[in-house]
Amino acid sequence: MEILEFKHLTTLIFSAVFGVFAVYHLLSYLVLRHRILLHYFILILGLTLHWSLSFFVNNSFSDHTAMIAEKASLTTAMLTTFGLLMFTKNYLNITKHDFSKLSKVYRFFVILVVCLPILHIFNNLTTKIVWLNDTIVQLAAITAMASIFLNIFSGFWLFNAQRFNRYYLYSYAPILVAALLYISTWFLKQHYNFNATPLVLTSSTLVTLQLILFSLLLAFKFKSIEEENLNIQMETNQRLKSEVDKQTKKLQIANKALESQNEELERVNQLKNKLFSLMSHDVRAPLNNLSVIMSMVDEHMVDPEVKPIMEKLKMEVSDKIEMVNGLLQWSYSQLEGMKLNKKRCDLEAVFTSVKNEFERMAQEKEIAIILEVSHPEIVADENILKVILRNLTSNALKFSNKGQKIVFWSQQQEDGHIELGVKDFGVGMDPNWFNRIAQGEKPQSTKGTSGEKGTGFGLLIAKDFVEMHGGEMRCESQLNEGTNFILRFKPE
C-alpha cells in the first residue's frame, strides 16, 4: 500500500472513531443535560473535523480545496482547544467563586481561542496579509500548547480538591504526549520536508487512547455524582423524617394540651351556664313574689299620691322579671346537650296560649291581640316556639300605642315554606338596628311607648331559637307604621 493511501486509510479510521465518540456524547448530553458532556462533545467534534481535513491536504484534491482545508485547520484546532479548556474547567469545578484567579486565566484563554479563528478568517477574506496570517497561525499553535500546560497545572493545583481530580491528572499523559508530538511535527513541517505519517499516526493513537480514558473518567464521575446525590437525598430524607417526627411530637403535645384546655373550657362553660340558670331562678322567684304582693297592695291602695308610685314600681318589677326570664331562657339555650323536642303544633292553640299570657298587659294599654291563622300547624318544639312568640309579643306590646292591635299570623308560601309571625302597628323601628343585632352586636336599651324598658335581648333569644329549628327570622319595619317579625321555616 502506498504512503498516500495509508494516510487516507488511517485518516478515515480515526475520523470515524472520533465521530462515534462525538455522536455518543452528544446523545448523552441530550439525555442527561449535563454541561460537561456538551464540552466533551465539542472537544471530540473539533478533533474529528481537524483529522478529516487531511483528506483535502497534500494535493489529494484540487489545489484550491487543499488551500481552504489548510486555512480551516486553524479553526478546527481552536475548536478542539476550546472544548478541552471548557471540559477541564468543568471537570475540575473551577468556578469564579472558589478559584477566582484560575477562573480568570481560563476565561482569557477561552476568549483567545475564540478570537484567533475570527481574525484568521477575516484576514484571509479581506486584507490577506501574509505575515499577519503566519503570526495568527503561530499564535494559535502556542495557545494550543499553552492550554495543554494550563490544564496540567490546574490538575496539580486542584489535585486534592476533589477525589476524581487526581484521576484526571493521571489520565492526561496521552493527550500531553500527543499534543507535543503533533504540534512539534507541525512546526518541523513548516521548515523541513519529511514523512510525518508515523508521527501523525502515533498522535492519533494517543488521542484515541485519551478519549477512551476521558470517557471512563466521565463514567466514574457521573457514578460518583449519582452516589453523592443519593447520599444527599438520603441525608435530606433522614433530616426531613427527623424534623417531621419532631414536629409531629410537638403537634401531638400541643393537641393534647389543646384537648385538655377545651375540656377545661367546656367544664367551665357548663358550670357557668348552670350557675347562670340557677341564679336566674333564684332571682326570679323573689321578684315574682314581690310582683304578686305589689299587685295585692295596689288593689287596696286608695291614697292618690302613693298609687302612681306603686304603678311605677310595678312596671319596674315587671321589667326586671322579663329581663330575668330572658336570661333564664338564654342560659338554657346555651347548656350542652340541649335537644329540640319537635312535634306537630297547633298554631291556633299556641297563639291563644301566648295571647292569654299577655291579656292583662294588653288590656292595660287597650291593645287587641288578633289571630289570623291561614296555615294551621307546624313541626317545632312547642315550648321553644312559645318562648319565641312571648319575646316578640312583649316587644310588640312595648312599642304599640293605646288603642292599636297586634296580629299573630301564619301562612304557607308557594315554595312550601311556612311563615308565621307577630305584627304590630306601633312606632316601628330602624331595620338596621335589628340587622346589627342579627350580626352579633350587643343590644342597646330602648324605652317603650309607656316608658317600658327594653334591651333587645329578647329579639336575640328569639333569633337564636328560630335558627336552632333551621329557620330564619326577618324584620320588616317602618318608623311610625309598625313592625312585622317573620319566622320562616322549611316544610317537614
Q: What is the pLDDT of residues 196-224, one digit of tens each?
A: 667 767 777 777 777 777 777 767 666 76
The torsion of the CA quartet 414, 415, 421, 424, rounded to 10 degrees, works out to -50
Q: Which helix (H) or strand (E) holds 89?
A: helix 63-91
% residues pLDDT > 70 (the chain): 69
Taking each helix axis from N to C terminus, what angle separates 130-157 and 173-191, rounded to the nearest 10 degrees? 160
| Predicted local confidence at residue 239, as pLDDT | 83
Return the higher-pLDDT residue of 123 and 222. 123
Residue 138's pLDDT band, with cuts at 50, 70 and 90, is confident
**pLDDT tens sequence across 60-119:** 556 666 677 777 888 888 998 898 889 888 878 888 888 889 999 999 999 999 999 999
Q: How many residues does the chain have?
A: 492
Of residues 466 and 231, more confidently modeled: 466
Angle at 394 between CA 418 and CA 285, to 5 degrees: 120
**pLDDT tens for each residue of 378-434:** 999 888 898 889 889 988 888 888 889 999 999 999 888 999 999 999 888 776 766
CATH number for the domain running over 340-489? 3.30.565.10
pLDDT value at residue 3? 45
List the grid coordinates of 20: 462515534
Q: Which regions of the chain carry the CATH code 3.30.565.10?
A: 340-489
Exposure class string for 14-50: b at 16+ Cβ within 10 A, else e: bbebbbebbeebbebbeeeebebbbbbbbbbbbbbbb
Q: Which of 453, 401, 391, 452 is nearest to 422 (CA)?
A: 391
In this structure, are residues 116 and 139 in contact, taking their beta carbons and an 8 Å threshold? yes
Q: 67 with 129: CB under 8 angstroms?
A: no
